[in-house]
């Protein structure tokens, strides 16, 4: 089981492209999802509650090159049985400054890819710093997830 809190943080583009496998992580509020979808996520232990809101980690794994290409092309994702494509603003340096990309190479080589659910770390790294700055977390239905601006979310 991989703990994201123990992975090496990637903070610059040079290191990003020299890494074999990466993990990109953010947390988003899912309060606006239909009740059935929220129940599915809760049943799969894919969400957590914090200060009365329901959150879900959003994790992408893969090669830096593919990840970088998908910044503008969109990332396919499945949330509570609903397929989506998530488009970020395409600014890699901004994402790296926000401490959301980790080196996953060592674990890929071992065959480990299951991620531990570290709720305290998720809250500390991805929610409280933005609350302290006065930012609010937006629901999935609004085109923004955490601190990364999402240009659109398309649902199939």
Q: What is the DSSP string of 59-101?
A: EEEE-HHHHHHHHHH-EEEEETTEEEEEEE---HHHHHHTT-E
Question: pLDDT per residue over 45-77, tens digit each?
Answer: 778 999 888 888 888 888 998 888 877 677 777
pTM, two decimal places: 0.77
Higher per-residue confidence, 124 vs 71? 124
Domain ranges, ordered by start, for the chain: 4-155
pLDDT of residue 119: 92
CA 60 – CA 56 distance, rounded (Å): 13
pLDDT of residue 135: 67
- Cβ-in-10-Å burial (0-12, 13-18, 19+) of 73 comes to exposed
């Amino acid at each position: 089981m991989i703990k994201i809190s123990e992975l090496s943080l990637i903070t610059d583009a040079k290191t990003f492209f020299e890494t074999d496998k990466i993990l990109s992580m953010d947390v988003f509020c899912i309060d606006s999802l239909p009740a059935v979808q929220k129940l599915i996520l809760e049943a799969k232990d894919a969400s957590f509650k914090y200060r009365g809101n329901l959150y879900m980690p959003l994790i992408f794994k893969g090669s830096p090159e593919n990840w970088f290409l998908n910044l503008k092309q969109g990332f396919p994702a499945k949330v509570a049985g609903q397929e989506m494509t998530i488009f970020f603003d395409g600014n890699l340096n901004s994402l790296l400054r926000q401490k959301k990309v980790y080196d996953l190479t060592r674990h890929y080589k071992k065959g480990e890819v299951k991620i531990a659910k570290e709720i305290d770390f998720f809250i500390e790294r991805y929610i409280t710093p933005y609350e302290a700055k006065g930012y609010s977390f937006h629901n999935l239905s609004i085109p923004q997830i955490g601190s990364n601006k999402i240009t659109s979310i398309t649902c199939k």
